[in-house]
Structure 1
Amino acid sequence: MDKLKIQNSLSRYLAIATLVLSVSACTFMGLDLQEDHKHKVTILEPDIHMTAWEFINKPLEDTLRSFELIRDAVVYAGLEEEYSKPGRTFLVFNNQSVLRYDSNGAVNSGCYFGREGVPELDENGDPVLDSLGQPITCPGRNWEDYPVEQIRNLLLYHIVEGEYSYHNLGPDNTIAQSLSPVDTANKVHLRIENDRNAKLRVNDFHGTIQSSIARTANLKATNGFIHVFDTYQRYGVQ
């Protein structure tokens, strides 16, 4: 028993000696001891001090945060004013969601130009046909390859009436009205994940064709809120 007491005493002395040496080392190295554990909490400012249209036109070097292609789509569809009107929520998809290449140099089938194929044309501008006489499709090269109404409807679905953000969304879906004129594709489901990451999700409901998570959410523009995505939104059920 005496031997055990001696061992316990030695352990306590060693712990105290280690602490003293640590404090001395800090003093020796010229480091100040922390006297107050409290730290100043700061909150990132979500206000970007510009309209959604100005934000889309802002040049950025980061490809995942650049929007030249959606800007070109807006101009092609003649919707510049819609991105400057107040009281809206803008689901902005980046360049990668429009045109993205695989490692072998082929256009990725998940981006818009890859998924929404257009007729392949011969040197005379006529559609190339397969053995069954059906047009062969290929990835789009630019927005002008598509009917302007198709691109208008795509963009209008990504503009939501009303301002939706972390201030008024929760873990349950909020069904919002988009500007899309298509009755079967004019609703947008918005919710915030109920976990520590609290990501903003779009069209996350049973049977959805596609749900997406915002890459950057809650940007406060002067005319509403902007949520940025790595993919464009498709609405419907499987």
Structure 2
Amino acid sequence: MKIFKITINSILLFAAIATVLPGCKKLLGLERQKNYDYQKKTLDPNINMSAKEFLLKRADGTPEAPNDTVFRWMKKGLDYCGFDLSEYEKQGRTFIFLHNDAVRGFNSSGVMDKGLFFTFPIVVLDGSGNPVINPTTGLPQTRPATQWEDYSKQTVKNFFLYLIGEGIFNYYDLGADSKSLQSLLPPNSVTTKESLLGYWDPSLPGFNAAGGNGFDPQGKFTLRIQNNADIAPIVFNERSNSRSIGFVATNGVIHVYGTALYPSK
């Protein structure tokens, strides 16, 4: 009986508190609960604009989103080489976009440790304009690029031509096996040798002390789905996972990358 009495007193005490504190009503479930209907929403991949408009909007920002400049460094490269932006308005294409991190990425200490400028650094020249060679590797000594102007205009232009594929290949058009796309880059294009990209040999693949073409000899790149536990990125040339994918433009599809892209299969 003593145990029963304590239990009754406890219940009365909690009920008294609940009448004073609304929060306790919620805790005890005495307050009528509001009904919240779960509404399933699917993000609309349609951006209702051309790839060119999407690029410019998120390179320069807008009055509504002035800090949305994730493609600023991609746009800087296009401007430098005089790229014809009408290529981003033509129909039936797969566009590979470069997030700022894909061009120049920094770690938490503010040191550049990723991106195109770091992956394909600039060759160091001696007083006579000749590459300073590392005796161990046989490759030129290098330094990270700091601007697009460190590369030749033709190399930069060819790089961006390589990032536009013929045909539309979105997530549901791809599978676990690599799909080869023809880019706008003409076959047998060769990069100049002001950077380590000029020593990239797609036939190895790797850096070749004798130099390499840099670009895929067929002007093609590959895409495939990587089946992971949590995400399924689109892999570019078997090396780089996408940052975001499937932006459906009025003239094609856009996939965005945040790491350096190697321009060869």
Question: TM-score, normalised on structure 1?
Answer: 0.71
| Partner residue in 1 for 2:90 | 85
Corresponding residue SS for 1:180: coil
Structure 1: runs of 5 or more not aligned? 1-21, 205-210
- Going from structure 1 to structure 2, the CA distance change for 1:33 and 1:217 (only over 3 Å counts) comes to closer
Q: CA deviation at 1:216?
A: 0.8
Q: How many residues align?
A: 201
Corresponding residue SS for 1:215: strand
| Partner residue in 2 for 1:61 | 67
Matched, 1:189 2:191: no
Percent sequence identity is: 32
- Going from structure 1 to structure 2, the CA distance change for 1:145 and 1:235 (only over 3 Å counts) comes to closer
- Going from structure 1 to structure 2, the CA distance change for 1:68 and 1:32 (only over 3 Å counts) comes to closer
Distance 1:191 1:129 in 2: 38
Q: CA deviation at 1:44?
A: 0.9
Distance 1:219 1:72 in 2: 22
Corresponding residue SS for 1:97: helix
Structure 2 contact 125–131 (Cα < 8 Å) conserved? no
Q: Over aligned residues, Cα RMSD in angstroms?
A: 3.2
Distance 2:110 2:49 in 1: 36
Matched, 1:171 2:199: no
Structure 1 contact 49–221 (Cα < 8 Å) conserved? yes
Map of 1:121-200 to 2, 5 A cutoff?
Answer: 127=129, 137-183=142-188, 184=217, 186-195=219-228, 197-200=231-234
| Partner residue in 1 for 2:203 | none
Matched, 1:107 2:112: yes
| Partner residue in 2 for 1:203 | 237
- Going from structure 1 to structure 2, the CA distance change for 1:171 and 1:131 (only over 3 Å counts) comes to closer
Corresponding residue SS for 1:214: strand
Structure 2: runs of 5 or more not aligned? 1-24, 189-216
Structure 1 contact 107–114 (Cα < 8 Å) conserved? yes
Distance 2:169 2:236 in 1: 12
Q: CA deviation at 1:139?
A: 2.0
| Partner residue in 2 for 1:15 | none
| Partner residue in 1 for 2:78 | 74
Structure 1 residues 185-194 or 211-220, which shifts more?
185-194
Corresponding residue SS for 1:233: coil
| Partner residue in 2 for 1:226 | 254
Structure 2 contact 101–115 (Cα < 8 Å) conserved? yes
Structure 2: which amino acid aligns with 1:221?
A: A
- Going from structure 1 to structure 2, the CA distance change for 1:103 and 1:193 (only over 3 Å counts) comes to closer
Distance 1:23 1:114 in 2: 56
Structure 1 contact 192–198 (Cα < 8 Å) conserved? yes
| Partner residue in 2 for 1:41 | 40
Distance 1:217 1:234 in 2: 18
Question: TM-score, normalised on structure 2?
Answer: 0.64
Distance 2:260 2:102 in 1: 6
Deviations 1:191-214 (CA, angstroms, capped at 9, x unpaired):
22345533222222xxxxxx1111
Q: CA deviation at 1:119?
A: 4.6
